[in-house]
Amino acid sequence: MATANSRPTVLPGDEIDPSLIPQSKNKPLRLGPGLRHIPPNTILPTVAGQLITLPHKSSMWVEYNSNRYTPTASDLIIGTILRSGPDFYYVSLSPYTASATLPHLSFEGATKKTRPQLVPGSLVYARVTLANKHMDPELECASASTGKADGLGPLTGGMVFDVSLGFARRLLMGRSRQEGKVEVLELLGGDEGKLSFETAVGRNGKVWVGSENTKTVVIVGRALKETDEKGLGVEAQRKLVRRLVKETR
């Protein structure tokens, strides 16, 4: 069975070998970008790239170079409020993606009187609940089953930094050591950087960084951008963190 370190190249329309598909008795298979399920059991790539599988999460997707974000159900995204309608907020996900809808009451504990009052330009951390080519994407900021936000909701203060879609994916996979060893955030908050901050990572290539210290926000943003753009390994990330922290003290 393939793992994140075993990356066969796939082409559009080539059926995925069943031996490469994660099998789990407890978790349903989750297909990410670049794959399509054709009932009953066929999985086809829709783009050319490397097939990535994570057996422990029963998930798989195709890693490919793209500057355009395509919404997929369950994606975590950082969106910008465009305007408010009678029942929904209209949210921008990227310059090349149709605006998404976010119900006014899709926030933890929200009622018509207590729901967040979000103005154009406000940021939200949300989950994609519906995504297909025939309808605009739909979002939620609280689980439909539990009503809990689980970290989703309005983002106040801080700054948003644009990163590549591939880098955002790597950050969202738990900063897995298997997935490219992206450890820059841990280094910044650990003994190397000793910085205090919080982040939210959007699958649409956006990272929000919040901190009471503006310099910290700038350092974290610069570290993320440089790690992404230069494809830095762990040791290079460590050196980068040391340099940025030293420069701003």
Mean pLDDT over residues 109-115, rounded?
Answer: 90
Among residues 113, 135, 156, the one where a domain terminates is 156
Query: Is 4 among the domain residues?
Result: no
Residue 181 is predicted with a pLDDT of: 65
| Chain-centre distance for alpha carbon 66 | 15
Domain that holds residue 227: 160-247
In this structure, are 171 and 230 located in the same domain?
yes
DSSP character string of 172-204: HTTT-TTTT---HHHHHHSTTT----EEEEETT
CA 124, 125, 129, 132 torsion: positive or negative? Answer: positive
Task: Judge whether residue 173 has pLDDT over 80.
Answer: no
The bridge status of strand 123-132 relative to strand 76-84 is: antiparallel
Residues 57 and 112 in one domain: no
Token digits of residue 7: 């990356």
Mean pLDDT, rounded, for 108-119: 92
pTM higher than the cut 0.85: no
The position carrying tokens 């729901």 is 115
Same domain, 206 and 232: yes
pLDDT of 5 above 50? no
Q: Which of 49-63, 174-188, 210-224 has the lowest mean pLDDT?
A: 174-188
C-alpha dihedral sign at 126, 146, 37, 25: positive
Give the chain's domain count: 3
In a domain, 85, yes or no: yes
Answer yes or no: is 200 within a domain.
yes
Give dist(CA 150, CA 148) in Å, integer.
Answer: 6
- For residues 158-186, average pLDDT: 79
Under a CB-based contact definition with an 8 Å cutoff, are residues 48 and 64 in contact? Answer: yes
Asked if 247 and 193 touch (Cβ cutoff 8 Å), the reply is no
For position 196, which CATH number holds?
A: 3.30.1370.10
* CATH number where 33 lies: 2.40.50
Same domain, 81 and 132: yes
Which backbone phi and psi does 233 adopt, to 5 degrees?
-80, 180
Q: Residue 224 belongs to what H/E stretch?
A: helix 214-230
Shared domain for 44 and 104, answered yes or no, is no
Whether residue 166 sits in one domain with residue 141 = no
Q: Per this entry, what is the length of the chain?
A: 249
Q: Are 116 and 156 in contact (CB under 8 A)?
A: no
pLDDT for residue 209 is more than 60 = yes
Q: What is the DSSP letter of 9?
A: E
